[in-house]
Amino acid sequence: MPYLEHRLTRRVLFYETDLAGIVHFSCYLRYMEEAEHALWRAAGLTIAPPDHSIGFPRVSVTCEYAAPLYFEDEFEVHVRIDKLGPRTIHYAHVLTRGTTKVATGTIITACVIPAPGQRPRASEIPPAIVARLRGDN
């Protein structure tokens, strides 16, 4: 079954670079997360509702670097949902600068219900969210 995907275009900011003008490795994870949040917004959702009734912490993250990004480079992050399980969402990311692949990565999140003063407990992803992420608007 096909799931949603989204493309986020962005420019490297100065504070994301090191003294050589190369993007710090940790920024790639932020770029992947930005694209994930943009995908949710495009589906009419938010990953962090104001009432904090549900959460999606990361349980696994990978990133394979292929080429550097530099200050003021414009690049694209393509994110797609690879798998939508009852309690988890698996995202695949490809970062490109023009025709150059910069990095690939994955994020796996788990659906949790926060409980004040307690550890969050795993929960099934609500059907309304599943429908939106499938593009069933």
Catalytic residue positions?
18
- Rounded to 5 degrees, what are φ and ψ at 29? -65, -35
Q: Can you tell me the distance from the alpha carbon of 131 to that of 105, in angstroms, rounded to the nearest whole number? A: 25
Residues 6+ positions from 23 with CB-CB distance below 8 Å: 12, 16, 17, 68, 69, 70, 73
CB atoms within 10 A of CB 45: 15
